[in-house]
């Protein structure tokens, strides 16, 4: 059974990714930070649909904690086939009043987390010589920018550049690295947005669902996606 670790898998897009991967026969490592009950509910749902998984708590912004947890996981469970770097945060504010802590926390969590999670895993994946898959979750903001999200857009654009570069480094090892960039997806992160105004800029005139954002991630994990690497797939209802 191929093993995939999904960060931020206790809710939203990460939860949908974990459930879809488990339904396709992957052993899913369900990462979370604080909400253990929500993560346990995801694990229960995975098992109820006939899949298998386990909980792996760590804070992607904490480099040492992340490395310790992932290194223990490698010792306990062996090779990892895939990683989905999904966890992230947002602290939105117009740039003139953006606080230092808001910049630092978003960059260190979203972009720093990409490094913190993949650094302990990439070398073992490469030396195993079994191939593998890495998918990072970026955002429409990382492609097009967005008012009030200079910090968030910077972190998500950085993920795209990092993933494209890593894809070049790992291609000969048959490890693909791709990015999925969701637009407005029906999750807690968009609950406070002015829906009527937001819908006007989405050609499909609706929010996406977590399952719709998860679907390309699951495809990119599959054997059928073995010749796709260094790409960014947008899931945004037609926003250009």
DSSP H/E element including 134: strand 132-137
Cβ–Cβ < 8 Å for 183, 156: no
Q: Which residues contact 92 (CB under 8 A, 6 or more apart)?
A: 148, 149, 152
- 80 SS3 class: coil
Cβ–Cβ < 8 Å for 187, 208: no
- 234 SS3 class: strand
Cβ–Cβ < 8 Å for 209, 182: no
Q: Which of 111, 218, 229 is nearest to 170 (CA)?
A: 229
Q: Fill in the DSSP letter of residue 208.
A: B
Strands (E), the chain: 3-6, 27-32, 52-57, 82-85, 132-137, 175-182, 232-235
Cβ–Cβ < 8 Å for 108, 40: no
Residues 89 and 82: their CA atoms lie apart, in Å, by 22
> Which residues are catalytic, by number?
152
């Amino acid at each position: 059974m191929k093993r995939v670790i999904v960060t931020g898998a206790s809710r939203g897009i990460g939860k949908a990714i974990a459930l879809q991967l488990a339904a396709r026969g992957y052993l899913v490592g369900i990462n979370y930070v604080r909400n253990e009950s929500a993560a346990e509910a995801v694990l229960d749902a995975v098992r109820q649909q006939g899949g298998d998984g386990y909980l792996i708590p760590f804070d992607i912004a904490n480099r040492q904690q992340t490395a310790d947890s992932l290194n223990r996981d490698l010792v306990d469970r062996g090779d990892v086939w895939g990683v989905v770097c999904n966890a992230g945060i947002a602290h939105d504010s117009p740039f003139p009043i953006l606080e230092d802590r808001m910049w630092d926390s978003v960059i260190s969590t979203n972009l720093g987390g990409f490094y913190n999670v993949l650094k302990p895993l990439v070398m073992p994946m490469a030396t195993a010589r079994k191939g593998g898959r890495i998918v990072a979750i970026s955002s429409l903001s990382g492609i097009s920018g967005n008012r009030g999200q200079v910090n968030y857009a910077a972190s998500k654009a950085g993920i795209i550049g990092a993933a494209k570069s890593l894809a070049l480094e790992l291609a000969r090892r048959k490890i693909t690295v791709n990015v999925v960039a969701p637009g407005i997806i029906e999750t807690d992160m968009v609950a406070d947005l002015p829906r009527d105004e937001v819908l006007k800029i989405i050609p499909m005139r609706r929010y996406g669902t977590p399952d719709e954002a998860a679907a390309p991630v699951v495809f990119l994990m599959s054997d059928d996606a073995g010749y796709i690497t260094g790409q960014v797939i947008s899931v945004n209802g037609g926003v250009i």
